[in-house]
Chains A and B, each alone.
Chain A
Amino acid sequence: MSDSFITPPTDPAATVEFDAKLGTVKPHWRYLLDGLANLGEAGLADRQFKAYRMLRDDGATYNIYDEEAAPYRTWQLDLVPSLIDSDSWQPIEAGLLERAELFNLIFKDIYGAKQLIKQGVIPPEVIFGHPGFIRACHGLALPGEHDLILHSADLSLSANGQCCVLADRTQAPSGAGYALENRTVMTRVLPSLFRDSHVHRLAGFFQRLRTKLTNLAPSQEQPCIVLMTPGAHNETYFEHAYLANYLGFHLVQSGDLVVRNGYVWMKSLSGLKRVDVIWRRVDDWYCDPVELKGDSQLGVASLLEVARAGRVAIVNPLGSGVLENAALLRFLPDIGRALLGRDLRLNTVPTYWCGDAKEQSYVLANLSNLVIKRTYQSNSESSVWGGNLTVNEQQELAAKIKANPIYYVGQPLVDAQQIPALTAAGLENRPSILRSFAVASDSSYTLMPGGLTRFASAPEASAGFRITSQSGSHSKDTWVLASEQERKSDVDQQLARSINQADLESLPSRVVENLFWMGRYAERAEASLRYLRTVFITINGDEELSLTCRRNLLAAVTLQTGTAPGFIDCDDSLLLDPEQELLNLVANGYITGSVRANLNAMLICADNSKELLSSDMLRVVNDIHDGVSELDAILSQNAVAGPEELLDPLVTTLLALSGLVQESMIRGVGWRFLEIGRRLERTIQTSQLIQGLVVPEMPEADQSVAIQSLLLSHEVLISYRRLYGARMGVQSSLDLLMLDMSNPRSLSFQLEKLQEHLQALPRQHDTRHELPAEQRAALDASMQIKMTTLTALSARENGRRQQLEKTLSRLNQLLDSVSNFMSDKYFDHREPSQQLVRSVWENRE
């Protein structure tokens, strides 16, 4: 998200807002710090914990790429906001607005007349040699005065009102959503302090953003605006889902969009829906495999050509990555004079471009005192502070610079503002930087009053460190103080509205598919957990089990988890000591069919349909996440006493999830799909367990144990005993589990609900009255159960209950058909694509 190096100030007095030792503080901090002090140590810790809970419950994460074990890290928010008084903010705001205008003009010039090159303001190599300069984007333009809709900058502030821009973000600037989330949490954790501090609100900025995106739409009637994300694995995916929800845009991925007949369409449940505006969070080169990176899986084929024809607006415009060019900073003062006719208000970090022979010598001679950056951010080579390098490393770097000088710049470290942060030792100063956000509106830009402040998590004694979210720095809300209280506008209300009911019909197909599978995986995991728990209880119980009885119980585990051969026809030794194998089936995510694998799959589906889950559901999803992480502990505890107890919390959490599906999810199409998934899977799971425990030939005593386990794992043992007493009768059990409509776990009950949901799905307009295929299959399944008799089901033939087996197997077939029909009809089947001819693509060195 950022790549900026800073240093603690060389002259502390200049940039310190607060000094704990001297007890001094800049006046505008006084009110806040007194307020925090009044809370006391315990009070502060309590609020900090609350803030942490809220962020976690909102699912606010920042994905760290190299951490395989726990890639999702809860967003870190410090309770002490960064304060900027209105006198200091005014010049910063004016400077940043000017900078956004300037970058817009540079963009237009680079992809248009190229006057900056022709007049010798910037050397041609700065642009022509930059991998962010995309020739295919030449001449692209958006309606209105601005092509660059969003501009972000990382800057360091200082107390005397001077500030210095370290870098600009222009492709798909991230952070605005995190800033909004920080603000939301702060107003809930410190409501009165926030209210009395007269802080500028953020909602107006987002209102402008939405208005601007709406106005960019080629067709003005109810434009369809989407936020295009690379997907749930992206480092800032939380923010994509969060902003899409907050602004009421559809969150889409590459596969949700398709170009047909020269327009971009979203594949939705109600068919193809034309897309007018794409707010993209996918990098330039990945957006279109036809003209850009040919093997990109994150883009939409032919997107660029549609944009070129003005039939879709893409924000920020494709090609804007060229503005993130560190070498441009070297020439910015000259560019400002050439394009605006004046000196720029804001300072930029001094930059030496190695494409210039003199500056290259300077950089090489001062490697130890400079930050060396590539002009284009590259994964293979990140920026370094020369002072941290060994002599050998410096020589290697110098050789690289000499081989390709135009790709390198050197920059001195910039003094960072020190602001107080809450640490274990109380308030301590930390160096910080601010990311700003500007959006084009009408004839000018609007700046978010505030932004995302990030600070180094450790007090740095040495110079030359950087603040990036990837390297695990912390964030703060940024309070720009107004001289008087701002009125709360209706804007806040308007924006808070979520996607309305009509929009629910046009959900991307991918989202409903994920909800369907989320329902199925959750149910599958729950059913396995329940039965595994039952098996642990039974085999560890007082009663000595016969070998055949163990075989039956354990074979059913294999059948239910789909992990054959497993316990089927296994050696007796495994039957006598099955615990480790059972624990594996719970906690080993590498076994397909294990509880953990199912939960992981469920979590992925939840991530991909995040925008439709209520905040309560997200909280429970987080709990499941934690539960999954704790499974490792279960696996390592060899021969632990009572493993069944360790499974209880997960069962409870899954139950909470299904409860919330009922209680807190809007009854839209998404909910129907989730429910269909659940009902379908529950039917399959129950019938498989009946198949494993009731169908096979077994002695009476074993049958009794098997039935007891079956009832226990379905939570109906107690009801059964109340109804039928202690004898485990086959017919009465089958009645309870298959036919009894008053038992919410019976097959009949599931099938009834399944049919209800199927009937409620949107249908194509059709005058005929035949039932859709999936409804016919579900009805047939329901009839299979309804048309049987308990006598027939319980009858044994050659030892096995053949009629029961036949009925269950037919039932499973029909449910498979329901699933397949659903999939054919509603889900997107993305065909694999290939490049026609191309073996290279534009080099991104």
Chain B
Amino acid sequence: MKYKIRHITEYLYAEPVSHCYNLAHLIPRTTQRQRCLWSQVQVHPVTAASAKREDYFGNHCYHFEIQRPHEKLIIESSSEVETSAQLTANELDFSFSCQQVRERMQTSKDPELLLAREFMLDSPMIKASDELRAYAEPSFAPDRPLLSAVMELTQRIYREFDYCPEATTVATPLSEVLALKKGVCQDFAHLQIGCLRALGYAAKYVSGYIETLPPPGQEKLVGSDASHAWISVYSPGEGWIEFDPTNNCMAHEQHIITAWGRDYFDVTPLQGVIFGGGEKPVLNVSVDVARLTG
């Protein structure tokens, strides 16, 4: 599937910002099931310096510096991406068993697997805990195929947690999300990753977009799409497999990846330091994911 994506981020400041330095993760990366065909970032006001590079995780990042006073910052990222599907649901039962995977993660000398162990450790926003392990454990019987167990966990999170944007913020800790049983895609992804790591599996945070379809008979609204987040789990032999606890599914062609890392911290869409600006900047984000035909 081919998509054209337009992601506009706008900051309105209470007072002028004299200069600022930013780092953006807004350009889709290339992965096994996805190619970024073309991309472009436009910043207003004009940047004094900017550079694109690949980060530690292979994501595209974009650095820029603005040296003129401004009260409004606009970053428009456009790209064209071609995606394909990953494994389908009926293949899930053929993976290694949970027990086997746990053992291999500890003992294998396979370089790919040794590197994957990075994603078993605690990360800035995700700390494995007994509570998370206790929550996830019922789905992970030792002889059950790992991917089937992960799918069940995905379903449970989908069923047992309410999608509720008001309930949490970026800073809400996982223990609270688990207690409230409420959150947004980012919380659910962090939660599932925390569960998997607590049990001894490697899991990544994936950020990107999902194509949404308008209600039947209605036109799709411009800017109605949103950034999205889901997870990827490592299964020896099969590699990294993506699941989406917010939508109770495995990631498919409509999941477009921007970046991945240990958690949100590694792939924050826009971070930086501003000089001036006053209090409480207003943030507006608009995302369009348009399917390209032909």
Contact = CB atoms under 8 A, between A and B. Distances in A.
Interface stretch (A480-488, A738-746, A836-844): A836-844
A406 B11 CA distance: 41
A387 to B, nearest CB: 31
B124 A840 contact: yes
A120 interface: yes
Interface in A115-146: 117-120, 124-125, 128-129, 135-136, 138-139
B interface bracket (residues with beta carbon within 8 Å of A): 35 or more
Interface in B201-254: none
A30 interface: no
Interface stretch (B93-101, B113-121, B143-151): B113-121
A831 B117 contact: no
Given A260-B48, A834-B277, A836-B11, A301 B118 contact: no
Q: Which of B123, B271, B277 has the most CB of A within 10 A?
A: B271
B51 A305 contact: yes
- Ordered nearest first, which 4 A-B pairs have the shortest CB separation? A262-B49, A118-B111, A839-B171, A135-B56
Interface string A293-317: 0100000011001001100000000
Given A260-B48, A261-B49, A835 B272 contact: yes
Interface string B252-294: 0000000000000110101111111100010100000000000
Interface in B166-193: 169-171
11 contacts: A120-B114, A124-B118, A136-B55, A261-B48, A262-B48, A294-B271, A302-B65, A309-B51, A831-B276, A836-B271, A839-B170
A290 B268 contact: no
Contacts of A842: 124, 265
Interface of A: 114, 117-120, 124-125, 128-129, 135-136, 138-139, 259-262, 289-291, 294, 301-302, 305, 308-309, 406, 831-843, 845
Nearest to A258: B19
Contacts of A117: 111, 114-115
A770 B274 CA distance: 37
Contacts of B271: 290, 294, 835-838
B20 interface: yes
Contacts of A837: 170, 268, 270-271, 283
B21 interface: yes
A305 B273 CA distance: 13
Given A290-B271, A831-B18, 14 more contacts: A129-B121, A135-B55, A261-B48, A290-B272, A301-B272, A301-B273, A302-B273, A834-B274, A836-B22, A836-B272, A837-B271, A838-B271, A840-B171, A841-B265
A836 B270 contact: yes
Nearest to B54: A139
Interface in B33-60: 48-49, 51, 53, 55-57
Contacts of A302: 21, 63, 65, 273
B11 A843 contact: no
Nearest to A299: B273
A837 B280 CA distance: 11
A259 B23 CA distance: 14
B56 A290 contact: no
Contacts of A291: 23
A691 B117 CA distance: 76
Q: Which of A119, A138, A261, A833 has the most CB of B within 10 A?
A: A833
B12 interface: no
Given A261-B67, A837-B270, A831 B275 contact: yes
A48 B90 CA distance: 84
A118 B21 contact: no
B268 to A, nearest CB: 7
B114 A118 contact: yes
Interface of B: 11, 18, 20-23, 48-49, 51, 53, 55-57, 63, 65, 67, 109, 111, 114-115, 117-118, 121-125, 169-171, 265-266, 268, 270-277, 281, 283
Contact of B65 (A139, A261, A308): A261
Nearest to B277: A834
B273 A834 contact: yes
A138 B55 contact: yes
Contact of A836 (B115, B123, B273): B273
Nearest to B11: A836
B259 to A, nearest CB: 13
A273 to B, nearest CB: 17
Contacts of A139: 56
Given A117-B115, A260-B48, A290-B23, A833 B270 contact: no
A691 B252 CA distance: 83
A836 B21 CA distance: 9
Nearest to A128: B118
Nearest to B278: A834
B111 A833 contact: no
A406 B118 CA distance: 13
A417 to B, nearest CB: 39
Contacts of B283: 837
Contacts of B56: 135-136, 138-139
Nearest to B170: A839
A358 to B, nearest CB: 13
A291 B273 CA distance: 9
Nearest to A291: B23
B21 A290 contact: yes
A696 to B, nearest CB: 45
A291 B55 CA distance: 12
Nearest to A836: B272
A260 B20 CA distance: 10
Nearest to A135: B56
Contacts of A835: 271-273
B149 to A, nearest CB: 24
B172 to A, nearest CB: 9
Given A290-B273, A291-B23, A843-B124, A114 B115 contact: yes
A136 B124 CA distance: 14
Contacts of B171: 839-840
Contacts of B63: 302, 305
A289 B273 contact: yes
B265 to A, nearest CB: 6
A308 B109 contact: no
A228 to B, nearest CB: 17
Contacts of A836: 11, 20, 22, 270-274, 281
Contact of B268 (A309, A838, A843): A838
B170 A833 contact: no
A367 to B, nearest CB: 24
Contact of B22 (A118, A136, A290, A309): A290
A125 B120 CA distance: 9
A114 B114 CA distance: 10
A326 B56 CA distance: 24
B143 to A, nearest CB: 24
Contacts of B117: 124-125, 128
A845 B51 CA distance: 32
Contacts of B281: 836
A289 B268 CA distance: 14
A291 B21 CA distance: 10
A290 B115 CA distance: 27
Contacts of B67: 260-261
Contacts of A831: 18, 275-276
A302 to B, nearest CB: 4
Contacts of A834: 273-274, 277
A345 to B, nearest CB: 29
B170 A843 contact: no
Contacts of B118: 124, 128
A302 B273 CA distance: 9
Q: Which of A128, A138, A836 has the most CB of B within 10 A?
A: A836
A845 B277 CA distance: 32
Nearest to A845: B122
Nearest to B272: A836
B269 to A, nearest CB: 9
Contact of B21 (A138, A301, A308, A309): A301
Contacts of A308: 53
